[in-house]
Amino acid sequence: MSMERVAWGSLYNITRAKSGSKPFSKATLKRVLGFARPHRGKLIAFVALSIVMAILAVATPVLAGQVVDAIVAKAGSGEVIRLAVLIAVVALAEAGLGLVSRWLSSTIGEGVIVDLRTRVFDHVQKMPIAFFTRTRTGALVSRLNNDVIGAQSAFAGTLSGVVSNVVALVLTLIVMLGTSWQVTVLAMILLPIFLVPARRMGSRLADLRREAAEHNAAMGTQMTERFSAPGATLVKLFGRPDEESREFALRAGRVRDIGVRTAMLQFTFVTALTLVSALALALVYGLGGVLAIGGQLAAGDVVVLALLLTRLYAPLTALSNARVEIMSALVSFERVFEILDLKPLIQQKPDAVAVPAGPVSVEFDDVRFAYPSADKVSLASLEEVSTLDTRGGEEVLHGISFRVEPGQTVALVGSSGAGKSTIAQLLSRLYDVDSGAVRLGGILPGSGLDVRDATFDSLRDTLGMVTQDGHLFHESIAANLRLAAPEATEEDMWDAIRQARLETMVRSLPDGLDTVVGERGYRLSGGERQRLTIARLLISQPRVVILDEATAALDSTNEAAVQAALGAALEGRTAVVIAHRLSTIRAADVILVVEDGQIVERGTHTELLAADGRYAELYRTQFAEATAVAEEAVPEF
C-alpha cells in the first residue's frame, strides 16, 4: 500500500466522520450488538479472516527481504524461485481471502441495513397520525437512508478495520523492531508529521463538506417543494421566479466554491503526506543503507523495513481515527434508535378480537378526548426545531354520547373546529379516547365491542372512510383501488368504478385501469379524484362508512356526481357523515349539532328546524341559498 493511498484513505475517513463529544454509550452498544447477533457467525468468520489477512500483509515484505538476501548471498536460483513462489502464493491467498472478506462484510452490512430499515419502517407505520402531522417527511426519510447507512459502516468497515489494523500494527512493530530498532524508532518520530496535518486539514475539509451538505439539502428542499404539483402552482400564482432563481443560484455557487476549495485542500493534503512518505523512505534507505554497509544490517532487511513502513503508518493513522469513526457510527445508531424509542400511542392488545360479523351499530359513550402533546408523538430533530411545542393536552371533546343503529345514517354538523372530524378519527381509531368508549356492534347500549379491544385488521375491514382531500398514490388506478382490497378482481374494480359514476371517464383513458393518476392524483380533476376514493371505499365493502366533508371542496356539478356515488356507498350501511351540504344531511336518520366539543342538539332535519336553535341558525346562514339547487341536482339517500 503506497503512502498516497494511505493519505487518501485517511482523508476520506476523517472528512466523513461526524465529530462528536458525546460519551460512549454502553446502552447503545448493547442494542447495536442485538442487531449484530443474527449475523454473529459471519462476524466471527469476518474477524478471523481480517486477522489472517493482516498476517499475510506482513509476510510479503519479509519474504521480499529474504529474496534480496538470497540474491546477495548467491544462494542459488532454486532458493530465489522458492521464495518467489511463496510470495505468489501469499498474493493469491490475500486475493482469495479478500474476496471472501468482502463478501462477508457486504453481507453483514447489507443485512444490518435491511434489519434496521425494516424495523424503522414497520415502527413508523404504527405511529399515530399526530406524528405525521408534525414530522418533516425529508427528515424522517433521512433516518432510513443516511443514518442507517452510517450505522452499517460500523459493521462493514470500522469493525474489520480496527481488528485488522491492531493485528497489522503489532506484527509490523515486532518485525521492524526485531530487524532494526534504530530505524523503527526514527520512523516513529516522523509519525506526528504525518498525523497532525491529517487532523487539522481533515477537520477543515469536514467543515466544508458539512456546509456543502447543508446547501445541497436546502436546494433539495427547495426543488422538492417547488417541483410538486401544488408547489409549482403556488409559485406560478404568488411566487417570484427571478428571486427564487437568484436564491437557488447563490446556494449552487457556494457549493461550487466549496468544491474548488475542497479539491485544492485535498491535493495539498495528499501532496504533503506523500512528501512525508518520501522523507520516511529516504530515512529508511539512508540509515538502513549505512547500517548495511557497516555490516550491522542485511541488505534484505533494508528492503523489509522500507516495505513495512507504510504498513506501520497505515494502521496507526487508521487507528488514530477509529474513535471518531466509532462515535460517528454510534451517533447514527442512536438517531435510528431515537425513532424506535417513540412508543406508538395506538397499539393492538394481545388479546384483541375481531369485530363481530353482521350489521354494525356505532356507539359513543361519554367520550372525552385531548390531542396528545408533541413530546408524546414527535421528536425535535424530526420537526427540525430546537425544542418541541409544549402545547396540547387540552380537552376538545367533552362527554360525547350518541348511538347509530345498523343501517342508519347520522350527520354531524357545526362550526369549524367544533370537534366533528375528531369524532370521526376516534371511530376509525386514528386516536384513542381519554375516557369513555367507542363501540361497534351490540344490540343494546353498552354491549358493543370497544374499538380498543378490536384487531386492526377487523377494524380496517369494518370501517371505510372518505376524507375531503381524497388522497391517491402516484400509482395506477388499479393499484389505488387494490390498496383497499388486494384480492379484488378486474370485474370487482369495474363494478366499484361503475357505482362511483366513473366508468365512462376510465374507459376513455388510453391505459384504462393501468393509467397512473400522478402525485396525489393530480392528473385527475377534483371530482374524478374524489369519486375514485369513493370507488376505493366501495371495493372494500365496509359495514360502516365515515364521510368527512367528502364534497366540501367541489363545485355543484361535481358535487352532484359525487353525491350520486355516495348514495351507492351508503346504501344498507351504517354511516357517520360530517357535512355542511343540505343534500347530505336532510335525509339523515339523526342530525347531531356539535359545538365546542359537545352535542348541543339532536334530531331530524324537520325536528331541529322546528326547535329554532343552533341548527336552524346554521341552516339559515349556510344552507338556505343552496336548497333549491341541491334538491334538484342531488338524489337523496
Q: Determine the average pLDDT of the residues in 427-439.
A: 91
Q: How far is residue 304's CA from residue 356's CA, in Å, rounded to a whole number?
A: 81
Q: Which pLDDT score is estimated for 630?
A: 45
- Which position has the higher pLDDT, 481 or 199? 481
| pTM for the structure as a whole | 0.69
What pLDDT digit, counting tens, does each position of 89-104 carry?
999 998 999 899 888 8
* Interval 124-141: pLDDT, tens: 888 888 788 777 776 677
Nearest to 518 by CA among 505, 503, 528: 528
Residue 4 in this model has a pLDDT that exceeds 50: yes
Average pLDDT over residues 104-113: 80
pLDDT of residue 601: 92
In the predicted model, is pLDDT for residue 20 greater than 50?
no
- Residue 591 has what pLDDT? 92
DSSP-assigned letter for residue 409 = E
Q: Which residue has the higher pLDDT, 154 or 454?
A: 454
Give every CB contact of residue 186 below 8 A, 6+ residues apart in sequence: 283, 287
Check residue 453 and give left, alpha or beta (phi > 0: left; psi -120 to 50: alpha). Answer: alpha
Residue 7 pLDDT greater than 60, yes or no: no
pLDDT of residue 629: 45
DSSP 371: P
Contacts of residue 501, defined as CB under 8 A and 6 or more positions apart, other chains included, come to: 531, 561, 564, 565
Whole-number mean pLDDT of the chain?
78
Query: How far is 269 from 198, CA to CA, in rounded Å?
Result: 7
Tell me the mean pLDDT in the region 521-550: 83
Q: Is the pLDDT at 388 greater than 50, yes or no?
A: yes
Assigned CATH for 405-431+455-633: 3.40.50.300
Q: CB count, 10 Å around CB of 192?
A: 9
Query: Each residue of 357-374: pLDDT tens digit?
Result: 888 899 999 999 998 877
Q: How far is CA 264 from the centre of its chain?
A: 35
- For the chain, domain boundaries: 3-13+20-340, 405-431+455-633
- As to burial, measured by CB atoms within 10 angstroms (0-12 exposed, 13-18 middle, 19+ buried), residue 491 is exposed
- pLDDT above 70 covers what percent of the chain? 77
**Mean pLDDT to the nearest integer, 465-469:** 80
Express each pLDDT in 578-621 by its tens digit: 876 655 677 788 999 999 999 999 999 889 989 989 888 888 87
For the chain, what percent of residues have pLDDT higher than 90? 12
CATH C-level class of 3-13+20-340: mainly alpha
Does residue 606 contact residue 428 with C-beta atoms inside 8 Å?
no
**pLDDT tens for each residue of 479-524:** 999 888 888 888 999 988 888 888 888 898 888 888 888 877 778 8
